[in-house]
Amino acid sequence: MITHTQAKGVAASIASLFLLISVLVLAAFTVAAQETTGSLKGTVVDPNGAVVAGANVTLTNTGTGSSQTKQTSGDGNFEFAKLAPGDYTVTVEASGFKRSLSKGVSVKLGIVNPLDVKLETGNVSETVTIAANTEEIVQRDQSQLSTTIETRKIEDLPSNAAGSGLDTLALLAPGVIPNNSGGVNTNGTGLSVNGNRARSNNFQIDGSDNNDLSVAGPALFVDAQDSLQEYQVITNNFSAQYGRNQGAIINLVTKSGTNDFHGTLFEHHRDNKVLNSLDNIERAGGQLKPNPSLFNVFGGQVGGPVYLPRFGEGDKSVWKGTNKAFFHFDYQGIRNPAQVTLRSGSLAIVGSEFPRLLATFPGNNVLSAISQFSAFALGATPRTDLTGARTVFINPTLPAATRVSSTQRPGDQGPFTIGGPFDVVNLGGTLFQAANPQRIVSEPFTENYWDFRFDVKPNNKDSVTFRFIKQKQLFVNTLSTSNGFDGDLPATSRNFGGNWTRQISSSMVNEFRATDQQIGVEFGGGCGATRPGCVPAPLAIGQAFTNISFGGVLGLTNPSETLQTIGPATNLPQGRVGKVYQFADNLSWTRGKHSLIFGAEFKHLNEVVPFLPNFNGQFAYSSVTRLLNNAPSGISVTAGDPTLAFTENDQYYFIQDDFKLRSNFTLNLGVRYEYTGQPINKLHEVTVARESSGQGFFDPTLPLSIRTVPSVKADKNNFAPRFGFAWSPKFEHGLMHKLVGNDATVIRGGYSIAYDASFYNILLNVQNGAPFSAAIALNSGNVLASTTTSPLPLPANPFGNIVRDAASASGVLPLGKLNPLFLAQTQVAPDFHSPYSEQWSFGVQHQFGRNQVAEVRYVGNRGIGLFQNINDNFFAGPMANGITNWFGTGINLPAFPQFLPAGVTAQVCTDNAATPFVNESACNGRIKRQAGITTRANTANSNYNGLQTRYNARLMKDALSLGATYTWSKTIDDASEIFAFDIASANAQNPFNINGPERSISQIDRRHAFSANFIYQVPFFKEQKGIVGHLLGGWQLNGVFVLVSGEPYTPGQFFNGSVLGVGNAYLTSGERPFIGNPNADPRLVGISQLDAFLIFDAPLTNPNGFYSFNEINLNGNFVSVTPAQVHFIANLPGAAKIFGTPFGDSTRNSLHGPRLNQLNMGLFKHIKLKERLQLELRAEAYNVLNHPNPGYGVNGAGYLPDFFVEDAGIPGSSFGQNSDIEMARRVFQFGIRLSF
């Protein structure tokens, strides 16, 4: 296997020649040159197998009537390039032979469609007609691995419910698995292909870009089944015309009109409460019916020739576009008037107490905020699902055992209600009624999706297509929380573009494409006077209500419940507006045995993302005293530009040659070059201008390099060589003939390098920290030590603009005086660049008769320089120095300096009292003289090996269409994602060794993946004559079955970071537990007595002993266990002391969630109303067997259990307990469809 350096060297030489040719040949600039067409290639032979040169081959599009004619070469070969997917008729005429007429020749998207014609001796006036569309065929000229799903399967297979996304179709391709943990947009399901990450897929509509720049995944969710002609999944990049990403190319081709008018009207209906089953959690909770949710999908489509009025004397009144101009229009609407019940386990003071609350503590801005913006002020009611409430009187000065009484005593306050959802809170000796709030919220969803396509063929040389797609979605109240805050989520996407194909000569075709693609998503909006807790739209990001938490205000009778947080999440509102302008040109040239394609591409990208956490501030109160004095224990506020626009200009160039070296051996040779610039340098430019203007955020005496985001060199050496071959062995006689047949077997293989694009959320994280932004975080350990006064008390009417003004006026946000070194930073590595992968495959494809094709192949993939999250300024104090008098217990914990690299020490930093709001002690204990640093770098790697098989057949005289795939694979990596999705932390456990100890099974390793699909047209009474024929004829049965191994996950922890905190534990992110007994039930967890003593006040009878974590959480009992009795032991400081290391020995992704096991079925009844009018009744069931499994698509549900070992034994949310996952239900859908 060649190295990347070697590959780039070879590729550079080839690319130099290519670039020269491109400049001379191409006069257009473009975007991602993905295919929207297919080609047809074949050989004409006589009855003896000898080639026929000079034969006339005429190709006619069955739908549009357009045709073109070519002559076979001296080798008898012919090729038609740039063909729209669909059915064609091929006519071959040659002197001395009968005319051959092949009907129903299917041209599929993005592949070389083979068609060989054997002529019969005779007169050309005689015709031999062949029905070609009954065949399943092998790919004899391409090494490309792809799966094309045609119109009928898109419309009829129950892959997913109507309006719920079409990417579930990709699961029918080998090497494709569902990926729930990729952090991307999904259109039915996330996808991982050949071991690549979910962000590594390239989504296309008619070959144009459809990618979300911020998070990856599709920008426009194509969910209208009737709008598509074909759905194609390309799972390798062996052709140089494909690029931008390492994984799959998902290309959706829209329908075009034909010479005949065709159309449909449809309605699909789902009713969760009436039709669907209970899921496992609802059933366990005694629920009798699922929650109400109606889902209606309706619309239609129509297409045909364009008829236009003529003007002018003597002309016909109507111009008919038959064979020349066609249109297709599609509309789909979704209405989902859903309702949800939101419940909280935290407490809120009830509304009837607000007058007394304000009278008791006048002038307190915090309590004023509670009275205006807490849950019961915003319309919540006490929870109705909790019982046992009773009326009592309470004396808070008495011991807990006697303070509550059913009758009033001297000194009692009340009456109050406790039990069930009720409790009271004690504010300075005065009790107030509180309760767990509940809100019943209407969350209707509306979608309007429409597309229009216009195709025109003005002459025999030119074809022009225009396309417009728009999708508007509105999720009303989808940001609702139980604390009363809410907001809408409107999303709009559009794709406008076209292409012009010109037949320059019989051997040369040029295609030019241009596209304008836009996406707009807003998390917030829909506000009005009746919604005081509404999150505003993203462009008003600075005017949202602040966030106020009360971690130290507890329930009196249930102290595990705290007072509920007020305000929206600190990262709301947010949104994104992305624009992509594309221009692409491809030139196809057939020259002898060479089929050449030259391509050049250009994209201009623009992305504006209103997003800046803590822009509106956050206040925390850790005690009642602080609340009553309005003296916060924590304040966070960020200054910066939350609406920066990123721009990017991408260029791609390629050359591809399919060289037919012999009649049965084709080489696929190509090279591609990609340049995507370095859009992160926008941050460098803005900070240099700001800090040089005299209006900077930071101390101007500091070097400019410290006050600005560093510039990163653009990645300019992304050459991608491609190689493949396809060999069809020919043996006329003997054993080998019986084994491989004649043109019935293809041996294919190839090698490629492909690059991934960076996504903008990485850039946003850099934007949200210093030195671009200034994120101030004050706590009780520094300037907020006082519990009675504060430099920044919560202001009245605490919306973002008021909070920031108060912070600036008080000096808490001293812009122009800050030092970015002592603020948290997120940065990219100096050599930040595009990740890439090497992929190779070798396989055999065989055709059995005319109707069956099977394939077995090996696919390998090596990801190199993948994005990884790094803790770049580790808090090494405890490891270097140990922990003395741990939390005042007198316990001393050891140091582990042997695990620190040579020369690495814990810094000693002290705060400067003269700069109270610049925390110079932020670097104390860290390895660098800075605050925390998160770095995103190209340091991760992956390896995939897979055995992939597929089988496709048309059986029972074409009544049954059948497909099946099976993939047995293994994916290994040292980081499965750059962000923490379904893992406790994205960081490596050991920040000084981020690869070796992390290498293990990948989170996207799904060892076994099987899929099957079928469409069975019941062959009886097909003509539907008479009453019996109408009753018994026209039935169709469809099915999709997907069986995939469970998703791996890593046992994680949170006590070190969330309970003990930095400085009181050795590790606070990325740590994994110790292994006790690898053969024990993985749900059994132990905790050292030292750790239990500190955290739970457990008896410390044996400093080297352990308790059962399960028993502590389940019953509150301290039951001694040995390591042999538990699978995991929580990696807390006490355990680290016992094991002699702070690094747990459990591996990444050592546990597995439940497997995906879902059968979807559909039963259709076709009713012929007239010759060209048909009614179709549909009944479909998703997860028809009602297996409790993760599901996908419309009934996708939970797929991983709680993965924190500290939650072992907690009822309803226990570590590793699959039965606590809310899994898929059975979903029914009924539909009606009228076709003409």
Kindly state whether residue 659 falls inside one of the protein's structural domains: no
| 560 and 419 together in one domain | no
785 vs 779: CA distance, rounded Å:
7
User: Please, which pLDDT band fits residue 6 given cuts at 50, 70 and 90?
Assistant: very low
Q: Is residue 132 over pLDDT 60?
A: no
pLDDT of the residue at 313:
59
Kindly state whether residue 604 falls inside one of the protein's structural domains: no
User: Please, which pLDDT band fits residue 1175 given cuts at 50, 70 and 90?
Assistant: very high
| 106 and 46 together in one domain | yes
663 vs 42: CA distance, rounded Å:
10
Q: Is residue 1053 over pLDDT 80?
A: yes
Give buried/exposed letters for 246-265 (b at 16+ CB in 10 A, else e).
bbbbbbbbbbbbbbeebbbe
pLDDT in tens, 327-381: 999 999 999 998 889 999 999 999 999 999 999 999 999 999 999 999 999 999 9
Kindly state whether residue 353 falls inside one of the protein's structural domains: yes
Beta bridge partners of 856: 844, 949
Residues contacting residue 790 through CB under 8 Å, at least 6 positions apart: 629, 630, 631, 632, 784
| 1183 and 1128 together in one domain | no
Kindly state whether residue 546 falls inside one of the protein's structural domains: yes
Q: What are the phi and psi torsion angles at 386 (to 5°)?
A: -105, 135
List own/partner pairs for 513-516 with CB under 8 A and 24 or more apart: 513/30, 513/31, 513/33, 513/36, 513/207, 513/208, 513/582, 513/583, 513/584, 513/585, 514/582, 514/583, 514/584, 515/31, 515/208, 515/209, 515/580, 515/581, 515/582, 516/579, 516/580, 516/581, 516/582
How many CB atoms are closer than 10 A to CB 687? Answer: 24
Beta bridge partners of 867: 938
Kindly state whether residue 187 falls inside one of the protein's structural domains: no
| 1040 and 1056 together in one domain | no
Query: What is each CA distance from 854 to 108, 748, 847, 950, 1015, in whole angstroms?
Result: 18, 13, 7, 6, 18
| 809 and 701 together in one domain | yes
The amino acid occupying position 1076 is G
CATH of the domain at 85: 2.60.40.1120
Least confident of 372-381, 554-563, 709-718, 1159-1168: 554-563
Q: Is residue 90 over pLDDT 60?
A: yes
139 vs 969: CA distance, rounded Å:
24
Query: What is each CA distance from 858 to 196, 234, 1003, in whole angstroms?
Result: 16, 16, 21
866 vs 1004: CA distance, rounded Å:
14
Q: Is residue 4 over pLDDT 60?
A: no
| 1181 and 1113 together in one domain | no
| 1043 and 1122 together in one domain | no
pLDDT in tens, 292-301: 899 999 999 9
pLDDT of the residue at 1:
35
Q: What percent of the chain has pLDDT over 90?
A: 78
Q: Tell me if 878 sits within 8 A of 900, measured CB to CB.
A: no
1145, 1175, 1196 - which closes a domain: 1145
Q: Which ranges of 457-558 does DSSP label H, i.e. alpha helix?
A: none
Mean pLDDT of 303-323: 80
> Strands 562-566 and 547-554: what pairing?
antiparallel
Kindly state whether residue 1167 falls inside one of the protein's structural domains: yes
1102 vs 706: CA distance, rounded Å:
51
Query: What is each CA distance from 1030 to 349, 958, 1034, 1165, in whole angstroms?
Result: 66, 21, 7, 10
| 1202 and 1125 together in one domain | no
State the DSSP H helix or E strand holding residue 100, giving kind and residue range, or none if neither: strand 99-107
| 801 and 702 together in one domain | yes
CA dihedral 409→415→420→425, nearest 10 degrees, is: -90
Query: What is each CA distance from 843 to 347, 846, 864, 879, in whole angstroms?
Result: 62, 10, 24, 52
DSSP 18: H
Structure-block tokens of residue 876: 């090494």
pLDDT in tens, 189-233: 999 999 999 999 999 999 899 999 999 999 999 999 999 999 999
pLDDT of the residue at 913:
86
Query: What is each CA distance from 590 to 122, 509, 721, 815, in whole angstroms?
Result: 31, 9, 21, 65
State the DSSP H helix or E strand holding residue 1028, giving kind and residue range, or none if neither: helix 1026-1032
pLDDT in tens, 63-72: 888 888 888 8
pLDDT in tens, 785-836: 999 999 999 999 999 999 999 999 999 999 999 999 999 999 999 999 999 9
Mean pLDDT of 518-546: 94
pLDDT of the residue at 516:
96
pLDDT of the residue at 550:
96
| 1020 and 1085 together in one domain | no
User: Please, which pLDDT band fits residue 737 given cuts at 50, 70 and 90?
Assistant: confident
Q: Is residue 84 over pLDDT 50?
A: yes
User: Please, which pLDDT band fits residue 105 given cuts at 50, 70 and 90?
Assistant: confident
411, 435, 459 - which closes a domain: 435
pTM: 0.89
- Residue 1173 domain boundaries: 1008-1048+1154-1235
pLDDT of the residue at 917:
84
3-state secondary structure of 321: coil
| 1086 and 1209 together in one domain | no
User: Please, which pLDDT band fits residue 128 given cuts at 50, 70 and 90?
Assistant: low
pLDDT of the residue at 19:
39
How many CB atoms are closer than 10 A to CB 30? Answer: 24
Q: Is residue 28 over pLDDT 70?
A: no
421 vs 436: CA distance, rounded Å:
5
pLDDT of the residue at 1028:
87
User: Please, which pLDDT band fits residue 142 given cuts at 50, 70 and 90?
Assistant: confident
1100, 1117, 1145 - which closes a domain: 1145
768 vs 642: CA distance, rounded Å:
8
The amino acid occupying position 361 is F
User: Please, which pLDDT band fits residue 314 given cuts at 50, 70 and 90?
Assistant: low
Kindly state whether residue 1206 falls inside one of the protein's structural domains: yes
What is the rounded average pLDDT for all residues in the chain?
Answer: 92
pLDDT in tens, 1010-1040: 999 999 999 998 888 888 888 899 999 999 9
| 1180 and 1160 together in one domain | yes
pLDDT of the residue at 1004:
96
pLDDT of the residue at 587:
96
CA dihedral 1187→1189→1190→1194, nearest 10 degrees, is: 0
Q: Tell me if 544 sits within 8 A of 531, measured CB to CB.
A: no
Q: Is residue 285 over pLDDT 70?
A: yes
Number of domains the chain is built from? 5
User: Please, which pLDDT band fits residue 458 given cuts at 50, 70 and 90?
Assistant: very high
Beta bridge partners of 500: 464, 512
Structure-block tokens of residue 990: 């050991």
Q: Is residue 1087 over pLDDT 70?
A: yes
pLDDT in tens, 907-966: 999 998 888 888 899 999 999 999 999 999 999 999 999 999 999 999 998 899 999 999
Kindly state whether residue 870 falls inside one of the protein's structural domains: no
476 vs 184: CA distance, rounded Å:
22
pLDDT of the residue at 215:
92
994 vs 991: CA distance, rounded Å:
6
